[in-house]
A and B are shown apart, each in its own frame.
Chain A
Amino acid sequence: MADVSGSVRVYGLIAGMWIRSTLVYRTSFALALLVNFLVTALDFVVIWMMFSQATSLGGYSFAQTAFLYGTASVSFGITTFVLGSVDDLGMRVRDGTLDAFLVRPAPVLVQVAADRFGLRRIGRLLQGVLVLGWSLARLDVDWTPAKLLLMPVMLLSGAAIFGAVYVAGAAFQFWAQDAAEAQSAFTFGGVTLLQYPPTVFARDFVIGVTFVVPLAFVNWLPALYVLGRPYPLGLPWWLAFAPPLVAAGSCALAGLAWRAGVRSYRSTGS
């Protein structure tokens, strides 16, 4: 696996350069970090306000909803932290600056992932961790070894599934450079969705995010298992342990899409 360690190394090198670049403007960095934290926290404030009016949402308590919110946010927080501005690839394709990445002795995807790496993005992750911690303190979970094991597996698999959506969306931008908006619907839209209980959504919608874009495997299915809640659509309980497989499959598909994208890259004049 020299390839993987080499990729991690290059990622670290490029990310380090971006950190140093952003630290040139310290005040701006501090502000960006704060804004990132606050803006993402607003999502939770919305949920908080709902529960100030009602005691349950789709049959879920505040703490249970916070658990869903926390797990989705942590997974997505990891993805945005690591893959940063992969969704801005269209810009690099449009202005041709991707050229420079293609003549370096490192995988393009690694370079794109580390591109414009921003420590400020840790704001979302931190905020998710706080909410998740708070919900765990409030919840009365009947912990079993399987449930304990499932926690890190869920968070990491969820991050990988979001990552696959990110990369597939980015690959699509090789053909349609203005597709960043459509991609946001699946990423930022997706995480907002997963922060709520599946019971508040229409059945067809839940089918879509289970079988078409497998976002339900990010947190819904495993989290409901941890909470001991019934599954939507009458799905079998063991699907709670499917996220690693779903993540592997999604990443493989996204990888293929990425390769096809790079091969069709047309650069720009001059």
Chain B
Amino acid sequence: MTQDFTENFIDVEGVEKVFDVRRRAGLLRRERHQVRAVDSLTFSVPRGEMVGYIGPNGAGKSTTIKMLTGILTPSAGRLRVAGIEPSRERTRLARRIGVVFGQRTTLWWDLPLIDSYRLMHRMYRIPDARYRENLDRCVELLELGGLLETPVRQLSLGQRMRGDIAAALLHDPEVLYLDEPTIGLDIVSKAKVRGFLRDLNAERGTTVLLTTHDLTDIEQLCRRVMVIDHGRPMYDGELSGLHAFGDGERTLVVDLERELPPVQVESARVVKVEGPRQWLAFPAAQSAAPLVARIAAAYPLVDLSVREPDIEAVIARMYARAPSPERPGEAGAPVGR
């Protein structure tokens, strides 16, 4: 097995994943067709980067993560994580990666939280000192202190998610995959999880790849975002570029001292007026600062806020523009959701 040295921690080259799907087409006859869950996917992630991976349901996000962890074997293409081919050396790779499935816990349901951690300690053969240090750190930052002796089934969704993240990090993985880590969490829990991930990436240099439907996750955590749809990469770059790419518009909400006629200002237009409050749309790629300065110079400004375009709206626009490759039976494809 050749282990070519690459600077990139994750290397994906022309990867495909095709599923055979059999569908009942009559009493006994079954139709077979192929669903391409991931198609000619190429990207690389340098060590220490934090990447957001987004796309609608069924786009191929989970399938990609499952190939990166070795759960699924790619149908074609080349895939390396830390120089290892995941599906061939899954067990060896396992020591170097951490995985959190947002919709599924890997903690032991009926046992106190600490028991799951003790199992990780022994299964991964984590040296005692390091285990204690990592556990203490996770317990402190994820606020798990009072929960260690609580059976997992009694934890709230947010507590359990934090518990799952800690479980994935005790063995010091070099990369952490998170599949929708904030799904279903309340605002406070989301903020805790995000803050923790940001620190983890900044202090430990852990490479992070996360899928999400929540734009705020990406905005607060990732400079780089990858968009996938129908198994095909649509965009790979900075988040701000995505806004421009998607023809997005941001909204500036201004509160004036009193009711006034719609604000007249260059490069923005008023889309809504409600008493002293006005909504102005401006191109997402453009900075809000000069716009605010111009308004403040000409109008009695009391308060303001900038609203990012909703990710679903941005992506929806992207998909609408992109020609969808023709494939039979891709609607309701049972994979990669």
Contact = CB atoms under 8 A, between A and B. Distances in A.
Contact of A263 (B87, B97, B119): B87
A266 B19 contact: yes
A194 B70 CA distance: 41
Given A102-B71, A103-B99, A105-B91, A21 B106 contact: no
Given A21-B109, A21-B111, A103 B71 contact: yes
Interface class of chain B by DSSP: loop
A244 interface: no
Interface in B59-101: 62, 66, 69-73, 87, 90-92, 94-95, 97, 99, 101
Contact of A269 (B69, B99, B334): B334
B213 to A, nearest CB: 11
A235 interface: no
B87 A269 contact: no
A47 B223 CA distance: 73
13 contacts: A21-B111, A96-B104, A100-B101, A103-B69, A103-B70, A105-B95, A106-B94, A263-B73, A266-B72, A269-B62, A269-B335, A269-B337, A270-B179
Nearest to B121: A13
Given A105-B95, A263-B87, 11 more contacts: A20-B115, A24-B151, A102-B69, A103-B71, A104-B123, A105-B94, A106-B94, A263-B73, A267-B72, A270-B179, A270-B337
A99 B73 CA distance: 13
Nearest to A95: B104
B335 A24 contact: no
Interface residues of A, number: 24
Of B19, B110, B151, most A-chain CB atoms within 10 Å: B110
A97 interface: yes
A10 B110 CA distance: 20
A104 B94 contact: yes
Interface in A81-99: 96-97, 99
A105 B19 CA distance: 26
